[in-house]
Amino acid sequence: MDSPDPDRPATHDLGGNPRFRCTPVEPDDDAPPSDFDKRVDAVRSVLREKGLFTVDEMRFNIEALHETEYFGLTYYEKWLRSVTAVMVRKGVITWEDIK
Partner 1 sequence: MAGTPLPESVELLDKLVAALKRRGVLVEEDIARCQTQAERAQPETGARMVARAWLDPEFRALMLRDGTAAAEAFGVAMAGAPPLGVLEDTDRLHHLVVCTLCSCYPRAVIGYPPHWYKSAAYRARAVREPRAVLAEFGTVLPAGVQVRVVDSTADYRWMVLPTRPAGTEGWSEEQLAAIVTRDCLVGVTLPVAENARIAA
Partner 2 sequence: MSHGVHDTAQARFAPGARVRVKPGRPERIAPMHLRTPHYVRGREGVVARALGRFPNPEDLAFGRPGEPRILYHVEFDQPPVWGEGEVGDTVLIEIFEHWLEEA
The binding site for partner 2 (CB under 8 A) comprises 6-7, 9-10, 13, 15-16, 53-57, 59-60, 63-64, 90
To the nearest 10 degrees (0 to 180), the angle between helices 35-49 and 75-89 is 30
68 binds, among partner 1, partner 2, none (CB under 5 to 8 A by kind): none
Using CB under 8 A as the binding rule, whether residue 98 contacts partner 1 is answered as yes
d(CA 88, CA 47): 13
Report the chain's terminal Cα–Cα distance, integer Å. 29
**Binding stretches for partner 1 (CB under 8 A):** 12-17, 19-21, 23-27, 29-34, 36-43, 45-50, 52, 55, 59, 62, 71, 73-77, 80-81, 83-84, 87, 92-94, 97-98
